[in-house]
Structure 1
């Protein structure tokens, strides 16, 4: 059985359902999986806790802890002991030490920790920023593992986290990685502008659980047409523009319900906005919601609004898994044309694209679908067919089977 080590900074994080889905995909393909992380997060509060139990992910965790003694004397004693015990690794240790940006005893402990992970046939890095020290160890010839790196968006927008400058940051990774994975053509172009070898880039969308996210088995309430947006509440996700579009509809006498799912730093700001516009009777906040309950909410809705926009530092949505999940539930999607969103739907067939932040255009498309129930139904059916063909587990798993090889 081929072994895969997933490398991620914090695991699991609420907003990273796509990482959990990727790991589950590898397990379903029959690989022996382990998850290397610098920090264990609270699983009991995680939206994907059912998946954790089902696939026993807690038993697959490895904490990236180098066990470095607190005192200088303790570090010196333990460091020398490691070197003496594994004298056969002294030469690659020396090469790594010279290549490392860190000095003192840290590289020694880091090297011997990773020496225990040499037997994994594949190391799959989630987010390019988690590359250290895999890229150096691979370049030095110490690691023989096949290296796959998935980029998800913010890891390609420099300066990353307002700290990491481009300055050749990914040069070693681009040189040694076997495959560089992105989820849309938008991210592929970002990789190319950073001088990533095009022959190493593979575009694979994030998979959608089409069994959980499926059209409703019941008839929706035709008297209460529901709009819905799902996502963390921050500037990038742009929920304020969905609220503004709804406000335009209400002013025209079109009575709709708008459900906002998620939490974040903008939550109170958005609630205040709704209150000031007098829309509390039309807009509701559902807070943190697990995937199964998100699916149920989507099944009760009629139209999905993808409100993501370019934020103040120039970041854009790389894909937007929720857009695919909504279409899987048979919902037409109305979205702003930003980042990789355009690649997740078929404009005019499974939904509509509007110019970014053009709330009047978004309101017009909502009104069009409200006034044409048959069109809404036809688009919803095409949306489901599109997701089954491009984003279903079977379609995506076949691509990952080839990548893992």
Structure 2
């Protein structure tokens, strides 16, 4: 069975879940073709070797570029016009695009071999404008599975979403997936029918983490860690304040922040104001292997994701929470977005009141002081994370392919 994929750009360093989807589908015998608006090169992936081993580059249909040589360019144009599918679509597509350059023709060339079939689109905004417009002029007639990952549910108001996508969804979309119940509700607000939506969590490669059940000693230095972009939505400032509270209670705390972002100066100023420079360490961006090492050396994972004050957006899921649990770490965060879907409350972690740094500190204190509880949570976290192994979660996509594919 052939499955087409559509991505805005590929590969992205952080989008390991997409790589898992592509590789696993291919390994299970599906004939895949990947359309992308921008190819970034395998070196831009944290899983470059996995992509090479599975020859994913051979399955890419990259954007078409005309030669800079005038003669070669004329030959390319001439050959394109000999293709009946392209020839009959040039006028309606140029009329729709309202452009006088060669970019619409380049798009028609890129998609000329797309046959009627199942198209899995990662990130809803990857539909627009190309897939929506090519379908409108009947250049392609896909059956679509659209997967939302988070930010793409916040790019449009309900009105603008309906204007862009309503007709396309009605004619072509057979299923929609989200990675959490929170994100499902956000997509419903856009006007997508609830009956179309399947909640499929993002999976992780459990074998990468090899977590061991941990113990803790309240008299030793307690290692807290957060991994994520340093942006307001991620809420690290509340974890910093929780650290201050724990230190005031007499605990020896080290809090490691991994990631970069435009909120770093604000966080650094908060650390300085609270006299925490010896306790809070900014490590910057790290590779996946380095992150795994940091997780293995830590005691508790802090997941203080909250909401963006500007647009109200929250964390759609929280993949790193699962990675931390797979490493044997209890996870403590806020009742915000999709994060609560990643833990078993009271068994592998806690979700406390949003932006309440005192509540964060109290939960850290509780598991520090109760060694048996900590060890039990560490064991349960590893077991819970194993149910999110990418082979299990990605298999749910394959079930949809079999259901809706030809």
Instruction: State TM-score, norm by structure 2.
Output: 0.87
Distance 1:240 1:28, change over 3 A: farther
Q: How far is the alpha carbon of 1:170 from its aligned partner?
A: 2.4
Q: Aligned in 2, Cα 1:321/1:136: closer, same or farther, shift over 3 Å? A: same
Indicate if the aligned counterparts of 1:183 and 1:206 stay in contact, CA closer than 8 A.
yes
SS class of match (1:236): helix
Matched with 2:369 is: 371
Distance in 1, matches of 2:359 and 2:333, equals: 10
Q: CA deviation at 1:15?
A: 2.9
Query: Which of 315, 318, 324 is residue 317 of structure 1 equivalent to?
Result: 315
Specify which structure has the bigger relative contact order, considering alpha-carbon pairs within 8 angstroms and separated by 6 or more residues: 2
- Per the alignment, residue 17 of structure 2 pairs with 18
**How many equivalent pairs are there?**
397
Deviates more, 1:299-308 or 1:142-151: 142-151
* 1:184 counterpart residue number: 180
> Which whole-Å CA distance do the structure 2 matches of 1:120 and 1:285 have between them?
50
Determine helix, strand or coil for the equivalent of 2:38. Answer: strand
- 1:187-202 correspondence runs (5 A): 187-202=183-198
Asked if residue 137 in structure 1 is aligned to residue 134 in structure 2, the reply is: yes
Tell me which residue corresponds to 1:9. Answer: 8
Helix, strand or coil at the partner of 2:3: strand
Contact preservation (8 Å) 1:48, 1:290: no
Specify the alignment match of 1:362 in structure 2. 360
Deviation larger for 261-270 or 328-337: 261-270
**Judging changes above 3 Å, is the alpha-carbon distance between structure 1 residues 84 and 64 closer, same or farther for their aligned structure 2 residues?**
closer
Looking at structure 1, the residues matched to 85 and 117 of structure 2 have their Cα atoms a distance apart, in angstroms, of 22
- CA positional deviation for 1:157: 0.9
Residue in structure 2 matching 1:229, options 218, 226, 231: 226
Deviation, 1:74, is 11
| Gapped regions of structure 1 (runs ≥ 5) | none
Q: What is the match of residue 85 of structure 1?
A: 82
More helix by share: 2
Q: Structure 2 regions of 5+ residues with no counterpart?
A: none
Write the distance in 1 (CA, Å) between the matches of 2:53 and 2:279: 38
- Is the CA contact (8 Å cut-off) linking 2:216 and 2:375 kept in structure 1? no
Aligned residue for 2:287?
290
Q: Would the aligned equivalents of 2:97 and 2:104 in 1 still touch at CA under 8 Å?
A: no
Q: 1:124 aligns with which of 93, 117, 120?
A: 120
Report the CA distance between 1:110 and its aligned residue. 4.5
CA contact (8 A) 2:162 2:191 kept: no
8 Å Cα contact 1:220/1:301 also seen in 2: no
Inter-CA distance 105–69: structure 2 relative to 1 (3 Å threshold): farther
2: CA distance, partners of 1:377 / 1:185: 29
**Residue by residue, what CA displacement relative to the aligned partner does 1:149-172 show, whole Å, maximum 9, x if unpaired?**
211111111448xxx944522223
Partner of 1:403: 400
Q: CA RMSD in A?
A: 3.0
- Quick check: 1:40 aligned with 2:1? no
Shift in Å, 1:37: 2.7
Once the 2 structures are TM-superposed, how far is the Cα of residue 388 of structure 1 from its aligned partner? 1.9
The superposition leaves residues 350-401 of structure 1 with CA deviations (integer Å, 9 ceiling, x where unpaired) of 2111111100000100100110111111122222222222x11332132122
User: For 1:149-208, what per-residue CA distance to the aligned partner results, in whole angstroms no more than 9, with x for missing partners?
Assistant: 211111111448xxx944522223422122211111111111212121333222111111
Q: Secondary structure at the match of 2:232?
A: coil
Shift of 1:47: 3.3
Match of 1:206 in 2: 202
Following superposition of structure 1 onto structure 2, how do residues 312-351 of structure 1 map, counting pairs within 5 Å? 312=309, 313-351=311-349
1:320, CA displacement in angstroms?
0.9
Structure 1 contact 233–266 (Cα < 8 Å) conserved: yes
Match of 1:253 in 2: 250
Work out whether 1:277 is the aligned partner of 2:274. yes
Q: State the shift of 1:234 in Å.
A: 0.8
Q: Write out aligned runs for 1:40-79 (5 A).
A: 40-41=39-40, 43-44=42-43, 46-67=45-66
In structure 2, C-alpha distance between the alignment counterparts of 1:207 and 1:7, rounded to whole Å: 20
Q: Distance in 1 between matches of 2:19 and 2:272?
A: 36
Query: 2:381 matched to 1:386?
Result: no
Structure 2: distance between partners of 1:20 and 1:296: 22
Match of 2:169 among 163, 167, 174: 174
Taking a change above 3 Å as real, the CA distance of residues 388 and 246 of structure 1, as seen in their structure-2 partners, is same
Change (3 A) 1:110 1:149: farther
- The answer to whether the Cα contact below 8 Å between 2:214 and 2:378 also exists between their aligned partners in 1 is no
Residues 325, 385 of structure 2: 8 Å contact kept = yes
Q: 1:311: how far off? A: 0.5
Query: SS at the partner of 1:301?
Result: coil
Distance apart, 1:67 and its partner CA: 2.9
